[in-house]
Structure 1
Amino acid sequence: MARITRKTTARAATAAGALAATALVLSACAGGSGSESDDTLTLWHYEGENSAMGIAWDQAIRIFEEETGATVEFEERSFEQIRSTASQVLNSDEAPDLMEFNKGNATAGFLASQGLITDITEAVEEYGWDDQLAPALQTTARYSDEGVMGSGAWYGVPNYGEFVTVYYNKDAFAEAGLEVPTTYDEFIAVLDAFVAQGVTPLAEGGLEYPLGQLWYQLALSQADRQWVNDYQLYENPVDWSGEEITYATETLKEYLDAGYFSPDVTGIAAEDAGLSFINGTSPIFVSGSWWYGRFVDEIADFEFGVFPFPDSDLSLGSSGNIWVVPERAANKELAYEFIDITMRPEVQALIGNNGGLPVAADEADITDEKSLELIQAFNAVNEADGLSFYPDWPTPTFYDALVAELQELVNGTKTPAEVQQSLGEEYDSYVADFR
């Protein structure tokens, strides 16, 4: 058995911010990498023990210890503990050797710009991780001097992914005499057919992220890769009255008026939207791969499947969170060896066979039929360079702004043009500093 020290139980409810910060600093002082010998790797991550990544990384620990003779001191942290105290802890001698961290400009990019995590470009080239990762997956691993993702040095390595797709109730489709749509016109015809039968076709939630992700998918259906680079990577100004965003905002209002989702959507949380698909109330759900394993476990009364959003070359999605090596880590070479093990086919297969989306797995190693269905859909998006990240990524405050403005849209308190103007002002107030 692996010699794993579990210092913190992350799945317990997170405490208030100050308490979490205090607890993290105290536990770090009790046994961080600054006090460890050269044959100990201190590892922090926040994946659940029974999650796909948790299972795979536990096996990676066993392989690492057997092959290197080093000991892994695994300290399980909650996401909030790591996020809220990262700058403080990483700027001390108590930093771990290797840590899971959230990707994006406001998270990993910020740490990179502050010199708190290591430029690992040489290790990436040495181990060949760049050859294993599709271009869009590399975007969240590289950051400029200003902390903007997509270019510059490598500061992290992802070994799993995520994306948004269209879930559908196969039994409901069959009972309604409907087939999986392959064009956008066919998709609208399916929605209209369900409405005509008195069924609200789209499981949707406007209290949290789902409605904003549908809005962004509609924009992506009219966009190309350059538009994504402008929106996400600040390469050129974004026209907030342009065809992509105008189409998304006006079409979302048309969906509401047509009865495609509930008029009470502003009070529906993501969990409730997911449950309306699980219980068969709504036969279609446009959402992320993070639901897939749960649907496999909890849907008992019908068969479900997935299909890509029709007539769109681009899809929401990205790498998963990334491994980062703190600049003050005591054992960086051990960290690189561990990362490399997590990229091996056998560990990638564990991610895939337990409901995750591996980034470098051989499909022949995926023995679970349902898992393979999702992985093949994800691989198809990657092969087309279709991953286009998420609508709230450009600024640290854009998630709240998007939720609030789309609520105004569906409540009828703002027109599409007014919503776009407000979102544009929010976006530009932050992005202007990077141009």
Structure 2
Amino acid sequence: MKRPSLVLMSMLLIFSMFLAACGGTNEVKNDPKETPKAEEPKKEEPKKDVALRVFSTFGGTDTAREAFQAAIDEFTTKNPNVKVDNDTMSANDDGFRTKVNTDMSSGNEPDLLFYFAGVDAQGFVDAGKVVPMNDILDADAEWKAGFTPSALENTRQKDGNIYAIPLTGFYEGLFVNKKLFADNNLELPTDWEKMKKAVSTFAAKGIIPLAAPFDQSHYVVEHFILSAAGPESQAKGLADGVDPNWEKGYAAMKELYDLGAFPKDAATIDLGMASNYYGTGKAAMILEGSWAFGGFADAAVKDNTTVIPFPVVPGGVGSGNDIIGGFGSGFYLTKATFDNADKKDAAIALMKHLTSPATIQKIAVANGGTPAAKVEITGLAQAAMDGFAMAANSKSINNPVDSRIAPETFSALRAGVQQVVTGKKSPADALKEAKTIEDENKK
């Protein structure tokens, strides 16, 4: 074999060196003496100023008024670019329904609306004025997990969507001044005979037995119908006609009226004055809700109050342990705000803050309501704890009858109270009139 010549070997060596040099041309080497310049952080643009309006019933003498305002202040402190107009009316003022309906139908809707669920909201829900919250809840698992499932479920509308995010729920019952009963050797009115005896005894001594107005007879209507007709019939409203058991409820109202149960000025007072009669010790009983405690001016009345279910009226099919309650209201996000790019995120953030477990706990402590979040409530008066126990031990908890019928129909039921107890109309005629209004409203 011939050996390669020196010339050939030299050429191969030079060629290999050339390849090696070419192979290294893509390698980038940093000069160790050079330090890469750090990128300057981008300046965060200031957030746009946002003005939001929140309408609610946390006004007037509402016991959670200050706690609600404090929650708004917490949010605006953390978000100084957001200004919140806290627009409120008292829930005892029937005009707040008119204001909501007018605002929602005239293009003057608030950004967040705290209002009833159910029939009261059906009009603006059907009109697309508010946003379904299902997707927004699902997108924030932590926020959604903070609620008790039953609270969210209780505000679901007929179309299956959740529009109202609950804050606190409520219970209603018969508030009783235990001291007045004990001083007059009376048993608590756990059945109808005891109720009649108490009414007769107190009326004879000049003590108002049952503080209730005729015009704003919301709680009277709710309890007498539930007691007389039971949960199933009460839940149907007047959809299947007038249940004869409803007549028994109105007849029982008249029976107590004839025994002197109501204030002498029941035809002219409102719910606020009725609460004042009980809260100052002038009345032995009142039908009210969990929010009522803050309105009782006399500390002794608060200390001596307990809450029990309303007894079954004569011939009624209720159990005697059915109560009114639930989560019948919540915060709505209006469609106009959702579609407004400048407001949407701030409004959702505010809603989440107002319905956070921390805020819900503070509101529940203030108004004695059932919290919609998984929080512990402490420091409440014994009467409030009695109310929670009543709800926990009840056979059924039912939404008020006005959530099952049109507002105009409920107004007719309320108006029928005075007409029936004073003998101007029979229970059947009063209910027939309400049914006619309900049918006309559905046309």
Structure 2 equivalent of residue 4 of structure 1: none
Using the TM superposition, give the Cα deviation of residue 76 of structure 1 relative to its aligned residue in structure 2, in angstroms. Answer: 2.2
Cα offset for 1:37? Answer: 5.8
Q: What is the TM-score of this pair, normalised by structure 2?
A: 0.72
Local SS of the residue matching 1:214: helix
Root-mean-square deviation (CA, aligned residues, Å) is 3.5
Q: Secondary structure at the residue paired with 2:107?
A: helix
Deviation at 1:368, TM superposition (A): 3.3
Within 5 Å, give how 1:88-237 maps onto structure 2.
88-89=106-107, 97-106=111-120, 108-126=121-139, 127=141, 129=144, 132-133=147-148, 135=150, 138-139=153-154, 141-144=155-158, 151-195=159-203, 199-206=207-214, 208-210=215-217, 212-231=218-237, 237=239
Change (3 A) 1:272 1:101: closer
Q: Tell me how far apart the structure 1 counterparts of residues 207 and 66 of structure 2 sit (CA, whole Å).
A: 39
Q: Which one of the candidate residues 356, 368, 371 is aligned to 1:359?
A: 371
Match of 1:12 in 2: none
Residues 215 and 52 from structure 1, CA distance in 2 versus in 1: closer, same or farther, beyond 3 angstroms?
A: closer
Q: What CA deviation, in whole Å up to 9, does each residue of 1:192-232 have, x standing for no partner?
A: 443465644111211x223x53233122123344323311x
- The answer (yes or no) to whether the contact 1:355–1:371 under 8 Å persists in 2 is no
Question: Which of residues 415, 434, 437 in structure 2 aligns to 1:423?
Answer: 434
Deviation at 1:157, TM superposition (A): 0.9
- CA distance in 2: counterparts of 1:220 and 1:50, whole angstroms: 28
Mapped partners of 2:151, 2:254: distance in 1: 30
Aligned to 1:14: none
Q: In the alignment, is residue 60 of structure 1 matched against residue 34 of structure 2?
A: no
Deviations 1:120-146 (A, max 9, x none): 11123344648834647644x3334xx
TM, length-normalised to structure 1: 0.73
Distance in 1, matches of 2:200 and 2:379, equals 38
Aligned partner of 1:255 in structure 2 is 256
CA shift in 2, pair 1:266/1:393, >3 Å:
farther
Match in the other structure for 1:85: 103
Change (3 A) 1:414 1:393: same
For the pair shown, the structure with the greater C-alpha radius of gyration is: 2
Cα separation, partners in 2 of 1:373 and 1:225, compared to 1, 3 Å: same
Higher mean C-alpha displacement, 304-313 vs 250-259: 304-313
Q: Secondary structure at the match of 2:170?
A: strand
Structure 1 residues 346 and 241, CA gap change in structure 2 (3 angstroms)? closer
CA contact (8 A) 2:309 2:322 kept: no
1:220 and 1:82, CA in 2 relative to 1: closer, same or farther beyond 3 A? closer
Q: 2:306 is paired with a residue of what secondary structure? A: strand
Moved over 6 A (4+): none
Partner of 1:25: none
Contact 1:44–1:75, Cα closer than 8 Å, also in 2: yes
Could you say what secondary structure the match of 1:386 adopts? strand
Aligned residue identity for 2:242: W
Cα shift readout 1:152-175 (whole Å, capped 9, x = no counterpart)? 211111202233211112221121
CA distance in 2, matches of 1:37, 1:393: 44
Q: Identity over the aligned pairs, expressed in percent?
A: 21
Evaluate the alpha carbon distance shift between residue 371 and residue 255 of structure 1 in structure 2; reply closer, same or farther with a 3 A threshold: closer
Which residue of 59, 69, 85 maps to 1:48?
A: 59
Instruction: Give the structure 2 partner of residue 308 of structure 1.
Output: 309
* Matching residue's letter, 1:73: K
Task: Confirm or deny that 1:405 pairs with 2:416.
Answer: yes
Aligned residue pairs, count: 375
- Would you say 1:338 and 2:350 are equivalent positions? yes
SS in 1 for 2:282: coil
Q: 1:386 aligns with which of 385, 392, 397?
A: 397
Secondary structure (helix, strand or coil) at the match of 1:194 reads helix
Q: Report how far residue 282 of structure 1 moved.
A: 2.2
Segments of 5+ residues of structure 1 without an aligned counterpart are 1-35, 145-150
Tell me the amino acid that sits aligned with residue 253 of structure 2.
Answer: L
Cα 1:228–1:70 shift into 2, 3 Å = farther
Shift of 1:74: 0.6
| 1:319 and 2:327 matched | yes
Counterpart-to-counterpart distance in 2, 1:294 and 1:37: 42
Aligned equivalents of 2:390 and 2:81: distance in 1? 35
Q: Distance in 2 between matches of 1:299 and 1:180?
A: 21
Quick one: distance in 2 between partners of 1:51 and 1:249? 30
Post-superposition Cα deviations, 1:219-275, rounded to whole Å, max 9, x if no partner, equal 2123344323311xx7xx3332522x0210111111122222246533343333223
Inter-partner Cα distance in structure 2 for 1:136 and 1:188: 36
Q: Deviations over 1:11-37 (max 9, x none)?
A: xxxxxxxxxxxxxxxxxxxxxxxxx96
Q: 1:257 to 1:66 in 2, by over 3 A?
A: closer
Give unpaired runs (5+ residues) of structure 2: 1-45, 90-95, 312-318
Once the two structures are superposed, what CA deviation does each residue of 1:271-321 show, in whole Å capped at 9, x if it has no partner? Answer: 3322322333321111233322111x4455773332222343433344354
Counterpart for residue 348 of structure 1: 360
Q: Does structure 1 conserve the Cα–Cα contact (< 8 Å) formed by 2:212 and 2:271? A: yes
- Name the CA distance, whole Å, in 1 between partners of 2:375 and 2:202: 35
